Copies of this chain bind each other. A is one copy, B any other.
Amino acid sequence: MTDSGALAKIADAVEAGFDRQVAFLAQLVRFPSLRGNEAPLQDWFSREMAARGYAVDRYTLADVPLSSHPKAAPMVDADPASSVQVVAAHRAPNPTGRSLILQGHIDVVPEGPAEMWTHPPYAAVIRDGWMYGRGAHDMKAGVACMVFAMDAIRAAGFAPAADVYIQTVTEEESTGNGALSTLIRGYRADACLIPEPSGHTLTRSHTGTIWFRLRVRGVPVHVAVAQSGTNAIMSAFHLIQALQAHVARLNEAAKGDAWYGGIPDPLKFNPGIIRGGDWASSTPAWCEVDCRIGHLPGTDPKEAMRAVERVVAEAAKSDLFLANNPPEVIWTGFQTDGFVQEPGTDAERVLAEAHQAVHGAPMEERRSTAVNDTRYYGIDYGMPALCYGPKGEGAHAFDERTSIADLKLCTRTIARFIAEWCGLRPA
């Protein structure tokens, strides 16, 4: 137990540094760090970390032997060589406490039509206690929390008594290869905390996700004789309907699941991008649909992929054209495990105590229907992996925003967790 005087000093330091923290978060949000364009943010971030005295390891996904790892996912439409990762290390001399990985992703998803945003998506406008912007909530707020929690400990005159790695990664929204690369590169610790915006709940579990592209090729003809051709767009829709029926069956079966039985339709199928055809008066010759489908923890992703292939092949049989021109299923990203962080770890106990101390109420838990990066740490590298972070709204949506008040509470909680988990020394 860290003495209460030290903890009070650290809480004061969070308060004292909070204006700088909000400005730092605004800087993060102003980077349009869409997939393939994260490098400028990472360059800036690595300079910020170096200026704080951390040892900075900046590398790209082309620098690690990703492809030989069984959990690496295909990167379609993205270049590993431009996908920059940053690890800032606090190395404690003769460490006595428990080591920690603090990890956040800085890739954001596309903002969609600009006119549907109240404020420009990369302007970081603050209004009525919220900061608006793509990524403000998912998850640049969490990144700001972990950085300024560490800053507060130092500002209070202390340093963690164990190694702490502050990691900002890419590919969380598409493959998970950023997180995986830090592990392949060798970074390990006694626990991992990922401050995804969980609204101060512990993410007890997350479902798995598969990405794929349906590719339909048809024989176009003039619409004047359309009955003798086929319409690739409508054939793609036929496959979408079959996959909707598939996920409905999966959700029916999920009613008996230990973790997700109580959640209505925990598995989501999303046809997220569609493009097809070249001319309004030509029967479309091609259509492609980029999809995402979920599966329960415990399901082998390969098994979920085989199921998608079976559903598509079966649906193709009942479409005269597709039966002769089988549609393709192309794996375009995520092939992730679902994950359950089983209760009972000491890391969770320490986090729950920090939460209770800051919020004055017990830490609640959630069961997420979307992936986060904890799975690699928990499943593949056997460390307690806690997903817990600030509060906001509108992930992947318009007017995404994060609560400024909750940003501070979360920073205090994480700072306290670090202090208790790693122990403190005078700086």
Contacts and interface: CB of A to CB of B under 8 A. Distances in A.
A110 B274 contact: no
A222 interface: yes
A276 interface: yes
A145 to B, nearest CB: 20
Interface stretch (A124-132, A151-159, A224-232, A418-426): A224-232
B396 A220 contact: yes
A67 to B, nearest CB: 21
Given A113-B286, A271-B233, A287-B274, A281 B173 contact: yes
Q: How many copies does the complex hold?
A: 2
Given A273-B284, A276-B273, A280-B270, A397 B219 contact: yes
A270 B231 contact: yes
Nearest to A275: B275
A304 to B, nearest CB: 15
A14 interface: no
A370 B292 CA distance: 39
Given A270-B231, A273-B284, A284-B272, A396 B219 contact: no
A208 interface: no
B109 A282 contact: yes
A205 interface: no
Nearest to A285: B112
A290 interface: yes
A395 B234 CA distance: 21
B224 A370 contact: yes
A280 B217 contact: no
A333 interface: yes
A369 interface: yes
Contacts of A226: 268, 270
A223 B395 CA distance: 9
Interface in A246-278: 264-265, 268, 270-278
B279 A109 contact: yes
A295 to B, nearest CB: 13
A223 B207 CA distance: 12
A211 interface: yes
Nearest to A226: B268
Given A110-B279, A221-B396, 4 more contacts: A173-B281, A220-B397, A222-B370, A224-B368
Interface of A: 109-113, 116, 138, 173-174, 209, 211, 217, 219-227, 229, 231, 233-234, 237, 240, 264-265, 268, 270-287, 289-292, 294, 332-334, 368-370, 394-398
24 contacts: A109-B281, A110-B278, A110-B282, A112-B278, A112-B282, A223-B272, A223-B370, A226-B270, A227-B265, A233-B272, A237-B237, A270-B283, A271-B284, A272-B283, A272-B284, A273-B276, A273-B279, A274-B287, A275-B276, A277-B290, A280-B291, A280-B292, A281-B292, A281-B396
